[in-house]
Every structure is written in structure tokens, then in C-alpha cells.
């Protein structure tokens, strides 16, 4: 397992991380658009 410092010095790995962050943000905004009247916390509590 590599340390965070080693990962930060690996441009390809940082590219993957930023791509994952973008996918995550896209998914979150998609879900929020889908349920504009209900926040994530409310949805979890409602179950």
C-alpha cells in the first residue's frame, strides 16, 4: 500500500482521483435534481 504522499506524486493516480470526484459530484447533483423537495438526510431518516 502506498502512502498519500506517494500517490500525490503520481500524476496518473491523481487524474483517476479527480475523475472519480467528478463522477461523484455528477451523481450527487443528479440525485438532488431527482428529489428537489427532499434532502439526503431526510431521505435516510424516512426509511
Residue with cell 443528479: 30
Helix (H, G, I), strand (E, B) or coil at 10: coil
Q: What is the pTM of this model?
A: 0.30
1-45 pLDDT per residue, tens: 677 787 668 878 777 777 777 877 787 787 777 665 655 566 556
Say if CB 41 and CB 34 are below 8 A apart. Answer: no
Amino acid at each position: 500500500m502506498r502512502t498519500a504522499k506517494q500517490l500525490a506524486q503520481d500524476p496518473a493516480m491523481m487524474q483517476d482521483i479527480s475523475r472519480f470526484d467528478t463522477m461523484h459530484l455528477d451523481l450527487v447533483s443528479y440525485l438532488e435534481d431527482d428529489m428537489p423537495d427532499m434532502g439526503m438526510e431526510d431521505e435516510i431518516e424516512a426509511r
